[in-house]
Amino acid sequence: MPVAKNSYMYEMIRTELTDAIGAEYVCTCDDDRLGHSIDYYWIPEMWHDRGMETPKPDFIVHPGSAEDVSKIMKIANQYHIPVTPWGGGSGSQGGALPVYEGIILDTKRMNRIVRIDKQALTVTCQTGIIARHLEWQCNKQGVSTMHLPASIACATIGGFLAHRGTGVLSTKYGKIEDMVMSLEVVTPTGEIIRTLPVPRHASGPDLTMLFLGSEGTLGVITEVTLKIHPMPEAREFRAYVFPDFHTAMSAGAELMRSRLQPCAMRLYDETETLTYVSRVFGKTLDKGAYLVFGFDGKKDIVDLQMKYARQIMEEQFHGEDYGSQGGMDWWKNKYKFFYPGFMFHIPQAFGTLDTVATFSDIENVYWAMKNTVRENFPQARFIGHFSHWYEWGCMLYARFIFEEKDVPKDPREAAALYNRVWDLAIRAAIANGGVINEHHGVGLKLGRYMKDLYGPAMPVLEGIKKQFDPNNIMNPGKMGFKGL
């Protein structure tokens, strides 16, 4: 439970935390409390924008090791204080918000690279390292994690592990869960455990996977070993514009079914091509759906794969070829989409309704979500692109946007409108074979749909949570788990 700041209990707990990890690493300052009260979720941003008080932690701790984390867990268990892990704070789902106050466990001090193993091609690091910093250090050694999401500059590796993040090269190199070899985890009761050193085995169930996507509800991931890759000799992109989104989707799906191995592929629907891609590229794309893909690796293999991919795009689906320059425009500008001025921003209301489904279902999911938004919120815009492609289907990164004039001034009414969009759109996705999220996680925003998604399997997850965290101190109220 929260501890009143003017009580002597507060001072007693602060003393214990200080004794455990050092005074320098226990903060109760208002500036840092403010810093941990707003993440990238629209609701706290809007709350702050409207001058409302955002929930703040009582204590912010900066552990430097698994041992420090263990000590913090034991203290938190002793006093039944909620602990919310915080990496870069750039999550869009409210997963790191201290909604019940208590302790924010900021992992960023745990930023050490333990080892780059060039024989096994793995890197072992603490999880508080900002992903961009890890990638830079790997690049300096001539290797790459190949995990290059738009949030690479601000999110920590732990954040990606906690909510199963995905980078732009996912089609070849996988989501973060495909990149993990093993984990070190501090459980809610303070035990430091390690999962098996390799991800492929027949030695019982996969404990590593249990923690990936657990969003700080089952413990704190303190160290990880990730696969790394040599820097590719060549990486080339090519873009096509198709008359409509359906044709472009068919071409993209065919490329995946061909079992060629693109490193990335992205398809923008007609609306997003017209309104967004054009603006970011500074070029006019006034009709159709823009599809870009690329290959990387040995130059001659890249060329060969590109040759077959072009046959699919041009001979089978008659795409208008925008050439390699059209593809490189995307690669060079891929992060620009997320900077202010290009990214949607308060006072707009906006959200990413990302989901994933098989090729059999994905277009139905798209139309179900789009029609739901269009019919129920005619004042909103709906745009979508398909970011991450797998052998069996792809991810839909759909967004709704309300302009300032259509967003209620009252923050409670604004929140109600916002939540209603999610209620209807997410349920439409689930009903058509989608899931509630592909790479942003569940957090606070989507927790209430977990029962819809998992049905009778939800008590299994709840049982696991209870087993790991008997006092319910770890990130309570998130991922559909019980609050305080």
Partner 1 sequence: MNIEKYPDAVRNCRFCFMCRHLSAVGNVTFTEADTPRIRAAMIYGAMLHPEWWRNPEYIDMLYRSDLSRNCTRHCVNHYDENALNIAARTDIVEMGLAPEAVKALRDELAATESWQTAGRGGVLYFIDPYTAEAKTDEVFAAVMKKAGKEYAAIRGGCIGRALEVLGYAPDAKQALEKFAAAVGQTGAKTLVVSNPAAYEMLKNGPARFGVGFPVTVMHTSEYLLTLDLAVVRPAGGLYYLESDYLRNYNELPFPHELLKKLGAEERHFGADRDWLGVPDQQESFTCGEGAVVLPKLYPELVKKLAAYVEKQADDPENDRIVVASPYTKLVLKKYTALRAETLEETVLAAL
Question: Which residues ranging from 371 to 410 are in contact with partner 1 (CB under 8 A)?
Answer: none
For residue 94, how far is the Cα from the chain centroid? Answer: 11
Residues 200-219 that bind partner 1 (CB under 8 A): none
Give the number of C-alpha atoms closer than 13 A to the C-alpha of residue 173, restricted to the C-beta side.
Answer: 28
Q: Which of residues 332-371 bind partner 1 (CB under 8 A)?
A: 332, 334-336, 338-342, 345-346
Q: CB-based burial of residue 404 (10 Å sphere; 0-12 exposed, 13-18 middle, 19+ buried)?
A: exposed
What is the Cα–Cα distance from 443 to 447, expressed in whole angstroms? 6
And the tokens for 423? 């209620």
Cβ(484)–Cβ(476) under 8 Å?
yes
Map tokens 């001539």 to a residue: 142
Cβ-contact 166, 388 below 8 angstroms: yes
The reply on whether position 282 binds partner 1 by CB under 8 A is no
What would the two tokens of residue 22 be?
């050092």
Q: Is 139 in the site for partner 1 (CB under 8 A)?
A: yes
- Tokens 């990486």, residue? 235
Smallest gap from Cβ 62 to partner 1, in A, equals 5
Out of 6, 8, 29, 259, point to the residue binding partner 1 (CB under 8 A): 29
Among 14, 74, 109, 374, which residue sits at the site for partner 1 (rule: CB under 8 A)? Answer: 109
User: Which of 70, 77, 84, 90 lies at the binding interface for partner 1 (CB under 8 A)?
Assistant: 90
What DSSP letter does each residue of 194-245 carry, written as one string? E--SSSS-SSSS-HHHHHTT-TTSS-EEEEEEEE-EEPPSEEEEEEEEESSH
Of 14 and 132, nearer to partner 1 (C-beta) is 132
Site string for partner 1, 9-28 (x = CB under 8 A): ------------------x-
Question: Can you tell me the distance from the alpha carbon of 402 to that of 378, in angstroms, rounded to the nearest whole number?
Answer: 10
Tokens 């759109």 sit on residue: 425
Q: Which of 1, 4, 34, 457 binds partner 1 (CB under 8 A)?
A: 34
Binding mask 231-270 for partner 1 (x = CB under 8 A): x---------------------------------------
Contact criterion met (CB below 8 Å) for 269 and 245? yes
Q: With respect to partner 1, which residue has the nearer C-beta, 153 or 210?
A: 153
DSSP string, 262-300: -SEEEEE-HHHIIIIIHHHHTS---SSEEEEEEEEESHH
Closer to partner 1 by Cβ: residue 223 or 469: 223
Of the pair 63, 477, the CB lying nearest partner 1 is at: 63
Distance, in Å, from the CA atom of 454 to the CA atom of 477, rounded to the nearest integer, reads 17
Task: Report the residue from 3, 40, 123, 166 that binds partner 1 according to the rule CB under 8 A.
Answer: 40
Size of the site for partner 1 (CB under 8 A): 50
Q: Give the residue, chosen from 65, 67, 79, 132, that forms a contact with partner 1 under the rule CB under 8 A.
A: 132
Q: Which of 120, 57, 91, 87 is nearest to 221 (CA)?
A: 87
Closest separation in Å from C-beta 60 to partner 1: 8
Give me the amino acid identity at 204. Answer: G
| Residue 127 contacts partner 1 per CB under 8 A | no
Options 65, 117, 154, 229; binder of partner 1; rule CB under 8 A: 154
Check binding of 88 to partner 1 (CB under 8 A): yes
- Give the contact letters, 43-72, x = binds to partner 1 (CB under 8 A), - = no: --x--xx-x--------x-x----------
Question: Of 14, 18, 22, 35, which lies in the binding site for partner 1, with binding defined by CB under 8 A?
Answer: 35
CA-CA distance, 252 to 388, in Å (whole number)? 11
| Interacting residues toward partner 1 by CB under 8 A | 27, 29-32, 34-36, 38, 40, 45, 48-49, 51, 60, 62, 86, 88-90, 106, 108-109, 111, 128, 130, 132-133, 135-137, 139-140, 151, 153-155, 231, 331-332, 334-336, 338-342, 345-346
